[in-house]
Structures are given as structure tokens and as C-alpha cells.
Amino acid sequence: MQKRQLGRYGLETSAIGYGAMGISLAYGPSDEQDGLAAIRKAFELGVTLFDTAELYGFGANEKLLGQAVKGFRDDIQIATKFGYTPDFGLDSHPAHIREVLDNSLRYLGTDHVDVFYQHRVDPAVPIEDVAGAVGELIAAGKVRYFGLSEAGPSTIRRAHAVQPVSVLQTEYSLFERDVETLFPTLTELGIGFVPYSPLGRGFLTGTARPASQYDETDMRRTDPRWQPGNFEKNLKSVAQLTDLAKEMDATISQLALAWLLAQGENVVPIPGSRSQARVAENVGAASLTLTPGDLERIAAILPDGGHGARYVESFLPHWD
């Protein structure tokens, strides 16, 4: 697979990464062996960027990722995140950041993480203090690159002035476009971009079902895009995109990922899947190049994204 530079501070990864969250959180029950096999399949197919977080099971997801990559850890980039508490509160105090990293290193079975992201901005801790704490971990060799997730332009600039930010991770897909307003800031500061939920939490794969049909633990039961009214409109757009993908001998998942890759050379999406076959399908998107004409046809189907908000109100990040 092709490589991409994520920002101008030295981080290089595969053009498509892998997100491990779904193995432990958000999308219903999972089989650990399937998760391990999916991660290993991704590596076999050229993926080198693997994304996890403390939040994804407070040890469970990081342990599983560490186990999966044991034989090839030095050939990949591991990204993890700090800053959430188990009750979905926030804690980015420097002492806590250091404690989380030590736990993450132990769970992952490694002596460094390649990207250490603040998972959400913590209004109780100045971002300069967060950047300073991560900077010290970089100086100590425990972290290679600093990342932010769901941060706004002013926060990014303030953090960057203390410790260069290599990468921003925020939701971005054919269904979710708000982050495009931050692209000029990222370009100016030389920051790479990792779109999360690049398949719209599975909606952009053609497999969406009505909300009530998902497991009790699956967040799509309450996701606004799955609720009656929005759901039917989103299904219609997905059907149109599926027809367009067929004309390209591709699947809608591949079209959705290729569209992200076409948005900029500094963009590396991290689709998540617990199935080896679906991982292979997603990786196939790296071989699909969309022409300007294809991009116009996609824009005609979905000019501004999907119908419905990306989170229920209480979880919607507000950027500063």
C-alpha cells in the first residue's frame, strides 16, 4: 500500500489505517479471536497505522492490539489516546496523562507509542499544560508524535505553539463534513488529518438496519442518523452511491474511503472492522482513484453530508 506523510513532523503511515475501537466498544458484542485476526489481516495487507484508546475498555482494547501486533510491532505505528474517565468524564491533568501512558505502554507491551492523542479537549486543563506534558513524554522517548482529537482552531494553535501537533483526528466522512472548516489551519501548520468513523459507523457500507434491530449495547440504536426520518433519507443516498460504486467495479465502502483519500495528501482514514474479509475490502480502497468527474457525481448525491447529527446532543463536541 502507498504511504502518506501525516503532517510535516516526520510521521509516515500507510494510506489507510485500522481502527480497533469496535472490537471492544460501541458496535455490539465481538469475538476476540475475530478481532485479533482482523488486525493481523490488516497488517498482512499493508496497513501500518493502528488506532486504539484508553477509553476502549480501559486496557482491554490496548491489550488485544498489543497481543495482535507482537510479531511486527516495530513495523507499525500505534496510536492511542488519553483524557476520558470510565464514566465519560474528562481528565487531562498532566499527572493523569503520565499515568495513562504508563498503563498504555504496559497493556500494549511496548516501550513507546507513535501517536499520543488527547481524546477530547478538557476545559478544566489549559491546553498548553497538556501540550507541555506530552512534550516531556516525547523528550523521554515514550511518545513519538502529539495528536489532538475533536479540537477546534484556537485550541490547535495554542497547543501547537508549545509542542508541534502532528495529527488531528476528528470525524469525517461522506456523511460528516464540518471539519473541512479546519483544513486551512491544518495546512498552514503542517498538521496531518485522520478521519475517524470514515464509513459513517457502518452506514456507508450498505449494511445499515433500522436502529431497533441493533444490540442493546450498540450506539447506533440512538444515533440520530439511524432514527426514523433521517434513516430513510440516508438509505436513499447510500443506494445511489452503491450504484455509482458498481460502475467503478468497487463497493460503496471502497468509494467512501477513496473519497476521503481524494480530499488531501495528508489524510489517512482509519476504518474499523472485526472481519478479515471486510478489512480486505476496505484496504482495496487504496487502489481506487476517483476522477474529478467521479467526485462531481458523488457531490451531486451528497453535497453536504448525511441527514441527522453525528452524535446525540450530550456527546456532540463543541470546538473552540
Total residues binding ligand NAP (CB under 6 A): 29
Q: Which of 191, 187, 181 is nearest to 159 (CA)?
A: 191
- In contact, 268 and 4? CB cutoff 8 Å: yes
196 is catalytic: no
Residue written as cell 467526485? 295
- CB nearer ligand NAP, residue 21 or residue 127: 21
Instruction: Fill in the amino acid letter for 160.
Output: H
Answer yes or no whether residue 83 interacts with ligand NAP by CB under 6 A: no
- Give the whole-angstrom CA distance, residue 42 versus residue 1: 11
233, containing H or E segment: helix 230-247
Stretch that binds ligand NAP, among 1-9, 21-29, 122-130, 242-250 (CB under 6 A): 21-29
Among 77, 104, 110, 149, binds ligand NAP (CB under 6 A): 149
Among 11, 21, 208, 241, binds ligand NAP (CB under 6 A): 21
Stretch that binds ligand NAP, among 64-72, 121-129, 191-199, 234-242 (CB under 6 A): 191-199
Q: Phi/psi zone of residue 171: left (φ > 0), alpha (ψ -120 to 50 degrees), beta?
A: beta
Stretch that binds ligand NAP, among 89-97, 159-167, 270-278, 297-305 (CB under 6 A): 270-278
- Give the whole-angstrom CA distance, residue 165 versus residue 17: 19
Which triple of cell numbers denotes residue 175?
Answer: 456523511
Site string for ligand NAP, 33-62 (x = CB under 6 A): ------------------x-----------
Residue written as cell 458496535? 27
Residues recognised as catalytic: 56
Residues that bind ligand NAP in the complex, under the rule CB under 6 A: 19-22, 27, 51, 119, 149-150, 169, 196-202, 205, 207, 253, 270-275, 278, 281-282
